[in-house]
Structure 1
Amino acid sequence: MHISEGILPLSWAGLWWAGTLGALAISFKNLKRNLQDYPEKKAVFAFITALVFLFSVVPIPVPFSGTCSHPVGIAVAVFVLGLSGSIISGFIVLLLQALFLAHGGLSTLGANAFSMAIMGSISAYLVIRLTQNLGFPLYMKGFLAGLLADWITYLTTAIQLALALKGEESVSSLFIKVLLAFIPTQVPLGILEAIITGALVTAIYKRRKDLFAFEGLKTIKGVVK
């Protein structure tokens, strides 16, 4: 989710920015209302954003793809902050990394945020709701949410690169090449992130279940929309 500056043509970068800004506008409105209802969540929001920052800060270069491989950490944010909070948190993380660490660029920030903050959060949210309905143990909820959030983030990044850089090549052909470039690093990283996410959400719930957007993985009114 750290596509470098200049990798995407401006037309594609602008398109992803448009989608990201639309999602941010909706998420910010929900988050603002939630923080008014639950002001104690402000400190939690800052803590979880810092945690996601640390999760996703170590780069593993992926040859020939114009990007790097990382754990994403966004599933933990969905558990604690809800969907809207997670999207805003993920965007802040990527903005700070682009500004101060040269992880990704500003023109490509819309694309990077769309893949991690938006698609990563949505996939984790849907997994949590599905596994909640199926009665999965908390650790498995965290494991599957962490795994899918990680892999969906990189699947989206592969699609973004294939669409923008296809040239004379077909989109499907380039997509497969980019995906194959990610697989050696991201398959094991995704599994490792799933293990850590499951353990982390279980530990948080045992000590401070009141911090969860899903208390007992049941929605608290006004926190998760």
Structure 2
Amino acid sequence: MTKKFTLLMMMAFVLTITPNVYAMHIAEGFLPPTWAGVYFVIAAPFVIIGLKQVRSKSSSNKDIKMLLGLVAAYAFILSAMKIPSVTGSCSHPTGTGLSAILFGPFVSSVVGVIVLLFQAILLAHGGLTTLGANTVSMGIAGPIVSYILYRALKNKNKRVAVFLAACIGDLVTYFVTSVQLALAFPGGGFGAAFIKFFSIFSITQIPLAIVEGILTVVIFEFIESHSGKELEILSEVK
């Protein structure tokens, strides 16, 4: 089973290698400096708390570090899969819903920063000046909604809870990105700008969010069947 999972992740990684990169993450230098700074300030406390939680959660069991690495790799691979939606941008899954389900929203902000930083450096996704803005959308807002949905629904139907958490969390990421772009470039008014950005993204993102929800259920059940002890420890320290 482990070999099959490793093969699946390798195939997914190969699919992310493309000659041209059109990233949905807000591109380097695209935001005005003031807005770029605002999002760094917003993201900072989440990342600081997340780092403290990573230390406390992983201190009780070293295998939790391996699990954290797995969810970070999952987020990196999924969010690097690109489907063009408009010139200069694209839609893609986010992958951070899984980390929110397993570790909570603060740790997910750390996962988001790491994933976005590596993508900016290695794949030209996003950028360093827009790292704060992209972290707010993909590493904070989406995971918060994913975590809330999972915690609210897991005792009723865990599979449905995981699916909705990943799917809706994905869509929230794009909702927040559309808000960020509309605030920075409100040509014709904020409302009109937001509708323009979000409607363009939603055409390709809605089916992608559904696919991400299904895939996250599969991965979550795999982890649940092979890392039950680690999940019990995580549930105790939340």
Q: TM-score, normalised by structure 1?
A: 0.89
> Alpha-carbon deviation of 1:219?
6.5
Give the whole-Å Cα distance in 2 for the aligned partners of 1:70 and 1:111: 17
Give the whole-Å Cα distance in 2 for the aligned partners of 1:201 and 1:25: 26
SS of 2:27 mapped into structure 1: coil
> Alpha-carbon deviation of 1:191?
0.9
Q: Is the contact between residue 141 and residue 198 of structure 1 (CA under 8 Å) also seen in structure 2? A: no
1:42-81 alpha-carbon deviations (Å, 9 max, x no partner): 12211221121111111223315x5321101111112333
The answer to whether residue 59 in structure 2 is matched with residue 39 in structure 1 is: no
Q: Is the contact between residue 55 and residue 73 of structure 1 (CA under 8 Å) also seen in structure 2? A: yes
Give the whole-Å Cα distance in 1 for the aligned partners of 2:143 and 2:202: 21
Instruction: Look up the equivalent residue of 1:152 and give its one-letter code.
Output: V
1:99-146 alpha-carbon deviations (Å, 9 max, x no partner): 1110001111100011011111111100011103xx322211111011
Q: Is the contact between residue 57 and residue 234 of structure 2 (CA under 8 Å) also seen in structure 1? A: no
C-alpha spacing 1:171/1:15, structure 2 compared with 1 (3 Å): same
Partner of 2:179: 159
What is the count of residue pairs matched by the alignment? Answer: 215
Give the whole-Å Cα distance in 1 for the aligned partners of 2:34 and 2:226: 47
The answer to whether residue 105 in structure 2 is matched with residue 86 in structure 1 is: no
Q: Which has the higher contact order (CA 8 A, sep 6+)?
A: 1
Q: TM-score, normalised by structure 2?
A: 0.84
Instruction: Look up the equivalent residue of 2:173 and give its one-letter code.
Output: T
> Alpha-carbon deviation of 1:203?
2.5
Q: Give me the identity figure in percent.
A: 36
Partner of 1:184: 203
Residues 1-225 of structure 1 mapped to structure 2, 5 A cutoff: 2-63=25-86, 67-132=89-154, 135-167=155-187, 169-212=188-231, 215=232, 220-222=235-237, 224=238
C-alpha spacing 1:202/1:138, structure 2 compared with 1 (3 Å): farther
Aligned CA-pair RMSD: 1.7
The unaligned stretches of length 5 or more in structure 1 are: none
Give the whole-Å Cα distance in 2 for the aligned partners of 1:44 and 1:183: 31
Partner of 2:8: none
Q: Is the contact between residue 80 and residue 92 of structure 2 (CA under 8 Å) also seen in structure 1? A: yes
Instruction: Look up the equivalent residue of 1:160 and give its one-letter code.
Output: Q
The unaligned stretches of length 5 or more in structure 2 are: 1-23
